[in-house]
A and B are shown apart, each in its own frame.
Chain A
Amino acid sequence: FFLSHLQRNMGPDQYTHTKKMGTLPTKQEAEGHADWKDAEHRMGTSIMAVQFKGGVVLGADSRTTTGSYIANRVSDKLTSVHDRIYCCRSGSAADTQAVSDIVRYYLDVHSAQMGEAPEVHTAATFFQKLCYDNKNALSAGIIVGGWDKHDGGSVYCIPLGGALVRQPFAIGGSGSTFIYGYCDANFKEDMTRDECHEFVRNALSLAMARDGSSGGIIRTAIIDENGVERFMLPGNQLPTFYEN
């Protein structure tokens, strides 16, 4: 115990390295201590949600890393907070799990009081409240997507600072930076459920191909009036594009 304690304190500050997104390790860090032994679990991630008439399609990759080690290559980053409301989680695995647990509790109480299913906007507002009020402590980028009877399908993006933006589609996570162009070029209003599903899978596949922190399988969830349908696309069946 004493030895590992020494080792831990010899290197540079753990959290400076892991909390900053996209920071390359120094030579000392890479060779000095194995960061994957102690680093916080992060979801480098590519996440996405697209609204269509009558519902939403949510998608995510499945890679959770502790430093450079892939702790879980089949993670499920699509988390339910209510019957027809899901969130896509990126950033710190612990932070996003904690926040979505709290939101699930609040939505449970709220829907019991209301006597009806909560609105997606309400779930998004809860996420925003937690992410903004605790912005200094959290590292959580969340996309909320779901269906409710007032607004139909809707997508809300809550990036790091705790802003809340409703969008027809939203992308997030470290992998999303590589697919802004693709998404802008290929998104169309009023796509069908299947067109949206294909759009999500193609976009995530491209992100996973370029981002080291994203990979594995593509998990998707389609939410509409009738409920949630979940899909899994194995890594060897991902749509392929230019590969030299």
Chain B
Amino acid sequence: FFSLLLTSIMAGIGAGYDLYPTTFSPEGRLFQIEYAGKAADASGTAIGVRTVDGVVLGVEKLIRSKMLVKGSEKRIFTVAPHAGMALTGLLADGRQIVNSCRDEAQQYKRFYGQAIPGKMLNQRISSYIQYFTLHDSVRPFGSSVILASYDKSGPGLYMIEPSGVSYGYRAVAIGQEKQVAKTELENLDFTTITSREAVMEIAKIIYKIHDDVKDKEFELELSWVCAESNGKHEHIPEDLLAEANKVGKQNLEADQFGSDEEMEI
């Protein structure tokens, strides 16, 4: 009896109802999907900010090995000329989402004769991701995605979780340090922030939330789709990226060595 009790405690609150995504717990939870959400957060943080003239995406790419060629692990992808996507979690899963997103955008263009509006793309991809939570023979995606778009209605920012739930945001963070990042993002003024300013703010936040102890080094990947990029989703220009890195580092140092007032004993 005791070993059985121990097993059930060690298995966590899931205890028997978490074996398949097709089983509800007595409280009405789907544990497999919640676990998928945990897998989705197990990677470097990704941030998206909707500005007055576009959307900016930034990713903290944790460098697992010094052998990696710089820029080889991409976390931000263009899914349509006017839309981009940032991934977290199991990247192979995420890349599948990117592929199907690209298909959806292309099909829509062929059928409707125009670029897919952000909210339609969001609807389609959410339905696609949700599909994998309904069947016994497949598993949910272990990846959350941030979708950035710029269409006739203006800039759009959406985040889709492994459950298929999605919302539109003014700013959003997913990944390891998402809670800390979200708190930082709340300080931004969304009514006035421009895309250039958002690039710097995101860089600052990522440098700030990066955990030096747990993860050694990281590489910053930034992209935008805005008026300055003529409504096209692309990685930010090299010089702007260099400046963003500089600003991020400087801000971090200023923070660390900033105020002496608290140093009272």
Contacts and interface: CB of A to CB of B under 8 A. Distances in A.
Interface string B101-122: 0000000000111100101100
A4 interface: no
Contact of A125 (B113, B117, B152): B113
A122 B113 contact: yes
A89 interface: no
B117 A114 contact: yes
Interface in A80-113: 110, 113
A121 interface: yes
Contacts of B123: 113
Interface string A108-137: 001001110001011011001100000000
Name the prevailing secondary structure of the B interface residues.
Answer: helix
Nearest to B151: A150
A154 B123 CA distance: 28
A121 B113 contact: yes
Contacts, number: 22
A105 to B, nearest CB: 14
Q: Interface residue tally of chain A, by bracket? A: 10 to 19
Contacts of B113: 121-122, 124-125, 128, 164
B166 to A, nearest CB: 15
A164 B114 CA distance: 14
B117 A129 contact: no
Q: Interface residue tally of chain B, by bracket? A: under 10
B27 to A, nearest CB: 33
A131 B112 CA distance: 14
Name the prevailing secondary structure of the A interface residues.
Answer: helix
Given A114-B117, A114-B120, A122 B112 contact: yes
Nearest to A122: B112
A63 to B, nearest CB: 33
Nearest to A115: B119
Contact of B111 (A113, A129, A164): A129
B117 A121 contact: no
A136 B44 CA distance: 56
B107 to A, nearest CB: 13
Interface in B109-165: 111-114, 117, 119-120, 123, 152
A116 to B, nearest CB: 9
Interface string A128-165: 11000000000000000000001000000000000010
Contacts of A164: 113
Contacts of B119: 114-115
B150 to A, nearest CB: 14
A125 to B, nearest CB: 3
B114 A125 contact: yes
A113 B112 contact: no
A150 B117 contact: no
Contacts of B112: 110, 122, 125
A193 B111 CA distance: 33
14 contacts: A110-B112, A113-B120, A114-B119, A114-B120, A121-B113, A121-B114, A122-B113, A125-B111, A125-B112, A125-B114, A128-B113, A129-B111, A150-B152, A164-B113
Interface of A: 110, 113-115, 119, 121-122, 124-125, 128-129, 150, 164
6 pairs of A and B residues whose beta carbons are closest in the complex = A125-B113, A150-B152, A122-B112, A125-B112, A121-B114, A114-B120
Given A121-B114, A129-B111, 19 more contacts: A110-B112, A113-B120, A113-B123, A114-B117, A114-B119, A114-B120, A115-B119, A119-B114, A121-B113, A122-B112, A122-B114, A124-B113, A125-B111, A125-B112, A125-B113, A125-B114, A128-B113, A150-B152, A164-B113
